[in-house]
Amino acid sequence: MTVTRRAAVLGKPIAHSLSPVLHRAAYDELGLTDWSYDRFEVDEAGLPAFLDELGPEWAGLSLTMPLKRAVIPLLDEISDTAASVDAVNTVVLAEDGRRLGDNTDIPGMIAALREHGIEEVGSAAILGAGATASSALAALSRVCTGEVVAYVRGEARAAEMRRWGERLEVDVRTADWADAAEALRAPLVVATTPAGTTDALAAAVPERPTTLFDVLYDPWPTELAARWSMFGGAVVSGLDLLVHQAVLQVEQITGRSPAPLEAMRHAGEKALAAR
Protein backbone atom coordinates (compact mmCIF):
# COMPACT_ATOMS: atom_id res chain seq x y z
CA MET A 1 0.00 0.00 0.00
CA THR A 2 1.29 3.44 -0.93
CA VAL A 3 2.09 5.60 2.08
CA THR A 4 0.11 8.83 1.94
CA ARG A 5 2.32 11.91 1.85
CA ARG A 6 1.08 14.53 4.29
CA ALA A 7 1.12 18.31 4.46
CA ALA A 8 -0.90 20.85 6.44
CA VAL A 9 -1.34 24.46 7.44
CA LEU A 10 -0.72 25.44 11.06
CA GLY A 11 -1.76 28.56 12.98
CA LYS A 12 -4.21 29.99 15.47
CA PRO A 13 -6.95 30.70 14.55
CA ILE A 14 -6.94 28.37 11.55
CA ALA A 15 -10.56 27.48 10.72
CA HIS A 16 -10.78 30.34 8.19
CA SER A 17 -7.72 29.23 6.18
CA LEU A 18 -8.18 28.69 2.44
CA SER A 19 -4.89 26.80 2.18
CA PRO A 20 -6.49 23.31 2.28
CA VAL A 21 -8.78 24.28 -0.59
CA LEU A 22 -5.89 25.55 -2.70
CA HIS A 23 -3.44 22.75 -1.99
CA ARG A 24 -6.02 19.97 -2.42
CA ALA A 25 -7.04 21.47 -5.77
CA ALA A 26 -3.38 21.35 -6.81
CA TYR A 27 -3.03 17.72 -5.71
CA ASP A 28 -6.16 16.76 -7.69
CA GLU A 29 -4.90 18.52 -10.82
CA LEU A 30 -1.41 16.99 -10.48
CA GLY A 31 -2.79 13.50 -9.92
CA LEU A 32 -1.28 13.23 -6.44
CA THR A 33 -3.95 10.85 -5.18
CA ASP A 34 -1.76 9.61 -2.31
CA TRP A 35 -1.26 13.11 -0.85
CA SER A 36 -3.34 14.76 1.87
CA TYR A 37 -3.44 18.34 3.17
CA ASP A 38 -5.07 19.28 6.48
CA ARG A 39 -5.27 22.14 8.98
CA PHE A 40 -4.26 22.14 12.64
CA GLU A 41 -4.75 24.83 15.27
CA VAL A 42 -1.31 25.26 16.82
CA ASP A 43 0.09 28.18 18.81
CA GLU A 44 3.70 29.11 19.63
CA ALA A 45 3.75 26.99 22.79
CA GLY A 46 2.52 23.88 21.00
CA LEU A 47 4.68 24.18 17.89
CA PRO A 48 7.87 22.40 19.09
CA ALA A 49 5.97 19.28 20.19
CA PHE A 50 3.90 19.25 16.99
CA LEU A 51 7.04 19.30 14.83
CA ASP A 52 8.79 16.66 16.93
CA GLU A 53 5.88 14.25 16.54
CA LEU A 54 5.79 14.36 12.72
CA GLY A 55 6.60 11.04 11.04
CA PRO A 56 8.46 10.31 7.78
CA GLU A 57 5.21 10.59 5.78
CA TRP A 58 5.20 14.36 6.33
CA ALA A 59 6.47 16.41 3.37
CA GLY A 60 5.83 20.01 4.42
CA LEU A 61 3.87 22.68 6.24
CA SER A 62 2.31 26.05 5.57
CA LEU A 63 2.45 28.47 8.48
CA THR A 64 0.26 31.43 9.29
CA MET A 65 0.12 33.74 12.31
CA PRO A 66 1.36 33.53 15.01
CA LEU A 67 3.97 30.97 13.91
CA LYS A 68 5.97 32.68 11.15
CA ARG A 69 8.69 33.89 13.51
CA ALA A 70 8.26 31.34 16.29
CA VAL A 71 9.24 28.50 13.95
CA ILE A 72 12.66 29.91 13.00
CA PRO A 73 14.65 28.56 15.99
CA LEU A 74 13.14 25.11 15.32
CA LEU A 75 14.48 24.87 11.75
CA ASP A 76 17.81 23.64 10.38
CA GLU A 77 18.02 26.22 7.61
CA ILE A 78 16.05 29.19 6.27
CA SER A 79 16.26 30.92 2.90
CA ASP A 80 17.67 34.39 2.39
CA THR A 81 14.15 35.58 1.53
CA ALA A 82 12.77 34.36 4.87
CA ALA A 83 15.76 35.76 6.75
CA SER A 84 15.25 39.19 5.18
CA VAL A 85 11.96 39.64 7.08
CA ASP A 86 12.41 37.15 9.94
CA ALA A 87 9.34 35.25 8.76
CA VAL A 88 8.83 31.69 7.49
CA ASN A 89 5.52 30.60 5.98
CA THR A 90 6.74 27.37 4.33
CA VAL A 91 8.57 24.41 5.86
CA VAL A 92 9.85 21.59 3.68
CA LEU A 93 10.54 18.39 5.61
CA ALA A 94 13.45 16.83 3.75
CA GLU A 95 13.98 13.08 3.45
CA ASP A 96 17.17 13.35 5.51
CA GLY A 97 15.16 14.81 8.42
CA ARG A 98 16.14 18.44 7.98
CA ARG A 99 13.55 21.19 8.35
CA LEU A 100 13.97 23.87 5.67
CA GLY A 101 12.17 27.22 5.96
CA ASP A 102 11.23 29.68 3.25
CA ASN A 103 8.95 32.67 2.71
CA THR A 104 6.72 32.49 -0.37
CA ASP A 105 4.70 35.59 0.57
CA ILE A 106 7.34 37.92 -0.88
CA PRO A 107 7.76 36.25 -4.31
CA GLY A 108 3.98 35.66 -4.23
CA MET A 109 3.40 39.41 -3.95
CA ILE A 110 5.81 40.08 -6.81
CA ALA A 111 4.13 37.42 -8.99
CA ALA A 112 0.66 38.82 -8.23
CA LEU A 113 1.80 42.32 -9.24
CA ARG A 114 3.43 41.07 -12.42
CA GLU A 115 0.27 39.19 -13.36
CA HIS A 116 -1.46 42.59 -13.32
CA GLY A 117 1.27 44.19 -15.42
CA ILE A 118 3.21 45.83 -12.58
CA GLU A 119 6.90 45.20 -13.24
CA GLU A 120 8.29 48.49 -11.93
CA VAL A 121 6.98 51.67 -10.29
CA GLY A 122 8.74 54.91 -9.44
CA SER A 123 7.18 55.23 -5.98
CA ALA A 124 4.62 53.51 -3.76
CA ALA A 125 2.61 53.84 -0.56
CA ILE A 126 1.94 51.28 2.17
CA LEU A 127 -1.07 51.50 4.46
CA GLY A 128 -0.23 49.99 7.84
CA ALA A 129 2.73 48.42 9.62
CA GLY A 130 3.54 44.98 10.95
CA ALA A 131 4.49 41.61 9.47
CA THR A 132 2.54 41.96 6.22
CA ALA A 133 3.89 45.46 5.71
CA SER A 134 7.47 44.24 6.09
CA SER A 135 6.83 41.54 3.47
CA ALA A 136 5.33 44.23 1.22
CA LEU A 137 8.48 46.32 1.69
CA ALA A 138 10.61 43.33 0.74
CA ALA A 139 8.55 42.86 -2.43
CA LEU A 140 8.73 46.59 -3.20
CA SER A 141 12.53 46.42 -2.89
CA ARG A 142 12.40 44.53 -6.20
CA VAL A 143 9.60 46.54 -7.83
CA CYS A 144 9.85 50.16 -6.67
CA THR A 145 12.76 52.30 -7.87
CA GLY A 146 12.05 55.30 -5.62
CA GLU A 147 10.48 56.28 -2.33
CA VAL A 148 7.95 54.24 -0.37
CA VAL A 149 5.75 56.20 2.03
CA ALA A 150 4.33 54.18 4.93
CA TYR A 151 1.19 55.57 6.60
CA VAL A 152 1.04 54.35 10.20
CA ARG A 153 -0.37 55.13 13.63
CA GLY A 154 2.19 56.18 16.23
CA GLU A 155 5.91 56.85 16.29
CA ALA A 156 6.80 53.33 17.43
CA ARG A 157 5.34 51.80 14.26
CA ALA A 158 6.85 54.55 12.15
CA ALA A 159 10.28 53.83 13.59
CA GLU A 160 9.80 50.12 12.95
CA MET A 161 8.95 50.72 9.29
CA ARG A 162 12.01 52.94 8.89
CA ARG A 163 14.16 50.18 10.38
CA TRP A 164 12.71 47.69 7.94
CA GLY A 165 13.43 50.11 5.12
CA GLU A 166 17.09 50.33 6.16
CA ARG A 167 17.37 46.58 6.48
CA LEU A 168 15.73 45.91 3.11
CA GLU A 169 17.49 48.84 1.42
CA VAL A 170 14.23 50.59 0.57
CA ASP A 171 13.89 54.37 0.73
CA VAL A 172 11.11 54.59 3.35
CA ARG A 173 9.45 57.77 4.57
CA THR A 174 6.74 57.55 7.21
CA ALA A 175 3.58 59.65 7.52
CA ASP A 176 0.75 59.82 10.03
CA TRP A 177 -2.36 57.70 9.44
CA ALA A 178 -4.44 60.90 9.64
CA ASP A 179 -3.00 61.78 6.22
CA ALA A 180 -3.58 58.34 4.69
CA ALA A 181 -5.87 59.74 1.98
CA GLU A 182 -2.73 61.17 0.38
CA ALA A 183 -1.48 57.61 -0.15
CA LEU A 184 -4.21 56.96 -2.70
CA ARG A 185 -2.46 59.16 -5.28
CA ALA A 186 0.67 56.98 -5.38
CA PRO A 187 1.40 54.89 -8.50
CA LEU A 188 1.01 51.76 -6.35
CA VAL A 189 -0.88 51.54 -3.05
CA VAL A 190 -0.44 48.46 -0.84
CA ALA A 191 -3.06 48.07 1.90
CA THR A 192 -1.85 45.72 4.67
CA THR A 193 -4.37 46.59 7.39
CA PRO A 194 -7.07 44.43 9.03
CA ALA A 195 -10.62 44.31 7.68
CA GLY A 196 -12.51 47.58 8.00
CA THR A 197 -9.45 49.75 8.63
CA THR A 198 -9.41 51.38 5.20
CA ASP A 199 -13.19 51.71 4.76
CA ALA A 200 -13.11 55.41 5.67
CA LEU A 201 -10.60 56.04 2.88
CA ALA A 202 -12.96 54.85 0.13
CA ALA A 203 -14.47 58.32 -0.21
CA ALA A 204 -11.01 59.74 -0.96
CA VAL A 205 -10.24 57.54 -4.00
CA PRO A 206 -9.08 59.89 -6.79
CA GLU A 207 -10.95 60.14 -10.09
CA ARG A 208 -8.18 58.32 -11.93
CA PRO A 209 -6.69 55.80 -9.49
CA THR A 210 -3.67 53.72 -10.45
CA THR A 211 -3.09 50.30 -8.82
CA LEU A 212 -4.29 49.07 -5.42
CA PHE A 213 -2.91 45.90 -3.87
CA ASP A 214 -5.27 45.02 -0.99
CA VAL A 215 -4.00 41.96 0.89
CA LEU A 216 -7.46 41.07 2.25
CA TYR A 217 -9.62 38.42 0.57
CA ASP A 218 -12.49 37.83 2.99
CA PRO A 219 -14.70 39.80 3.02
CA TRP A 220 -14.16 40.87 -0.57
CA PRO A 221 -14.23 43.36 -2.07
CA THR A 222 -13.28 45.80 0.67
CA GLU A 223 -14.99 49.18 0.44
CA LEU A 224 -11.72 50.70 -0.75
CA ALA A 225 -11.22 48.04 -3.45
CA ALA A 226 -14.82 48.33 -4.64
CA ARG A 227 -14.62 52.10 -5.08
CA TRP A 228 -11.16 51.78 -6.66
CA SER A 229 -12.57 49.42 -9.27
CA MET A 230 -15.63 51.62 -9.82
CA PHE A 231 -13.31 54.48 -10.75
CA GLY A 232 -11.41 52.28 -13.21
CA GLY A 233 -8.30 51.55 -11.16
CA ALA A 234 -6.49 48.22 -11.23
CA VAL A 235 -6.94 46.03 -8.14
CA VAL A 236 -4.73 43.17 -7.00
CA SER A 237 -6.52 41.15 -4.31
CA GLY A 238 -5.48 39.13 -1.31
CA LEU A 239 -6.67 36.03 -3.17
CA ASP A 240 -4.18 36.82 -5.93
CA LEU A 241 -1.45 36.87 -3.29
CA LEU A 242 -2.75 33.76 -1.53
CA VAL A 243 -2.84 31.74 -4.73
CA HIS A 244 0.59 32.82 -5.96
CA GLN A 245 2.29 32.08 -2.63
CA ALA A 246 0.46 28.73 -2.45
CA VAL A 247 1.67 27.82 -5.95
CA LEU A 248 5.25 28.20 -4.73
CA GLN A 249 4.49 26.18 -1.60
CA VAL A 250 3.01 23.31 -3.61
CA GLU A 251 6.06 23.24 -5.88
CA GLN A 252 8.48 23.17 -2.94
CA ILE A 253 6.58 20.63 -0.83
CA THR A 254 5.66 18.18 -3.62
CA GLY A 255 8.64 18.71 -5.91
CA ARG A 256 6.22 19.03 -8.84
CA SER A 257 6.35 22.06 -11.11
CA PRO A 258 4.55 24.02 -12.38
CA ALA A 259 1.72 23.98 -9.88
CA PRO A 260 -1.74 24.49 -11.46
CA LEU A 261 -2.31 28.21 -10.83
CA GLU A 262 -5.70 28.51 -12.53
CA ALA A 263 -7.17 25.39 -10.91
CA MET A 264 -6.07 26.68 -7.51
CA ARG A 265 -7.48 30.15 -8.18
CA HIS A 266 -10.81 28.70 -9.33
CA ALA A 267 -11.03 26.55 -6.20
CA GLY A 268 -10.31 29.59 -4.00
CA GLU A 269 -12.92 31.72 -5.75
CA LYS A 270 -15.52 28.96 -5.43
CA ALA A 271 -14.81 28.51 -1.73
CA LEU A 272 -15.04 32.25 -1.03
CA ALA A 273 -18.31 32.51 -2.97
CA ALA A 274 -19.77 29.76 -0.81
CA ARG A 275 -18.97 31.56 2.47
Active site residues: 68
* CA proximity to 151, closest of 130, 172, 175, 134: 175
Distance in angstroms (rounded) separating the CA atoms of residues 147 and 157:
18
Beta carbons of 272 and 22 less than 8 angstroms apart: no
At position 38, the amino acid (one-letter code) is D
Distances (CA, A) of 132 to 25, 45, 137, 168: 26, 22, 9, 14
